[in-house]
Structure 1
Amino acid sequence: MVGEDLSVRVRLATESLPESEVVWGEKRRFNPTAAVRFLARRVEGLPMVCVRHGVPATGVVPATINFVQVGSVRMPRTVGLELRKWAREIIPIPPWFRLPDTSAKLRADWPACAACIARFRWLRQLAFGVLLAGPPAIVALFLAAAVGVPHGVIVSLVVLCFPGWLPVGIGISGLMLMAANTDIKVEPIDERPFVVIRAHPRFADATRSERHAD
């Protein structure tokens, strides 16, 4: 898709996502106004053509994309915005630097080729592997301290756990999960019955053909 991607309109379902699929805390923190309300939408009617590579899709990649309110625009959350969110949770920062709360959520099952599906699964498995490696490392640290292993080993285990796993490992895992979830570039969302994505020209052609067929 590099160098040849196009802007493509994809249709949104008329009904909103059910409340069970919306994180309650996100919706509760967002302060709606008369002009801006919380959106929870789902993409539908996608052709079975890989969005990134334009080849016949062998499956789908499920994705949940969050949008934050920047002025009057609901912007898709980026890695940079995510880092600001983490800073907001960890350390006191000025109000002008804080990340806006989530104002929209988009669900999609993106048609994908074998390479895209493999990338999605690899990123998720690696991220969850790093997350799950922490508790055993902490247990090993306490056991090593209890049985009196050499001081150098104890120090290595401490560094591996803190900050190796917490917060560095957890942070990297979060970024890998975000990369897996936001592989398809989505433009700001609004009240219209479609959203614009960046996609391969052959996916764009297939989308137009299905739209004309309808």
Structure 2
Amino acid sequence: MAGVSPATSGTSRQQVVFDTEVDPDWIPFFTESPMELVPTESMPEVCIEHGLPAVEHRPFFVHSNGPHSEWPTLRAMLMSVAPFVQRLPVEATVRFDCPACEFCLAEIRRSRWIAVLALLVVPLTIAGIFTAVSLELRQLYVPLAFAFLPGCMPIALLAATLAWSRSGFFADVWMNQDADQLIVSAHPDFAAAVERNRAETR
């Protein structure tokens, strides 16, 4: 049963629960493919993170095994690609349109600019190395070598990857253990809007 319950994190955020159902447009081609789910009700025109009026809806998804719902961090990114980490199989994926406000869109743009600037460091450093070699500026060889390794490889690339992954983050969401409910850690105004919508449809 979908509902709203206070979050246990000690903050003012609330956990909003949406029931899910199999996407009627989902056609599995392989038996191992994860089940595609969608929420049984639409989300209000309110930003999940900030509680402000939504100005855009952006595609979002979460796997039943996580950790796509978690805020992207360097540690989480490295753990996701580590070969020794045991990963749970994905049983289902919930896809939905996530309401985003102006603050969300500004954060997206900022994260993408950071990613682009981090990537630009790589060709600029390489160009600096070639320039220093061609002009025989030996006093720059060591600083530029450190700027390239580990400066560009891998620090700049990791920073760019992390910033770009954060540009796709819109809400802290996850699925319950039975993979039949979508749980959203939401702003109280979003939770109130959900309750109003449900009250109107009863």
What is the correspondence of 1:62-211 to structure 2 with a 5 Å cutoff? 62-65=59-62, 67=63, 74-77=65-68, 78=70, 79=73, 80-88=75-83, 95=84, 98-100=85-87, 103=90, 104-145=92-133, 147-189=134-176, 190-192=178-180, 194-211=181-198
Quick one: distance in 1 between partners of 2:142 and 2:93?
A: 43
Quick one: distance in 1 between partners of 2:187 and 2:173?
A: 13
Q: Is residue 51–residue 190 contact of structure 2 (8 Å, CA) maintained in 1?
A: yes
Q: Against the structure 1 CA distance between its residues 58 and 15, is the aligned structure 2 distance closer, same or farther, given a 3 Å change threshold?
A: same
Quick one: distance in 2 between partners of 1:131 and 1:11?
A: 41
Question: Pairwise CA RMSD of aligned residues?
Answer: 3.3
Shift of 1:48: 0.9
Letter in 1 for 2:51: G
Match of 2:55 among 46, 58, 62: 58
Q: What CA deviation, in whole Å up to 9, does each residue of 1:58-100 have, x standing for no partner?
A: 22344444x4xxxxx6232443432213443xxxxxx4xx141
Unaligned runs of 5+ in 1: 20-27, 68-72, 89-94
Q: Is residue 75–residue 187 contact of structure 1 (8 Å, CA) maintained in 2?
A: yes
Q: How many residues align?
A: 184
Quick one: distance in 2 between partners of 1:128 and 1:102?
A: 33
Letter in 1 for 2:138: H
- Corresponding residue SS for 1:195: strand
Instruction: Give the % identical residues.
Output: 24
Shift of 1:122: 0.7
Letter in 1 for 2:150: P
* TM-score computed with the length of structure 2 as normaliser: 0.72
Q: Is residue 55–residue 99 contact of structure 2 (8 Å, CA) maintained in 1?
A: yes
Q: What CA deviation, in whole Å up to 9, does each residue of 1:39-66 have, x standing for no partner?
A: 444557111111122221222344444x
Letter in 1 for 2:97: D
Quick one: distance in 1 between partners of 2:87 and 2:185?
A: 24
Shift of 1:207: 1.6
Q: Which has the higher helix share?
A: 1
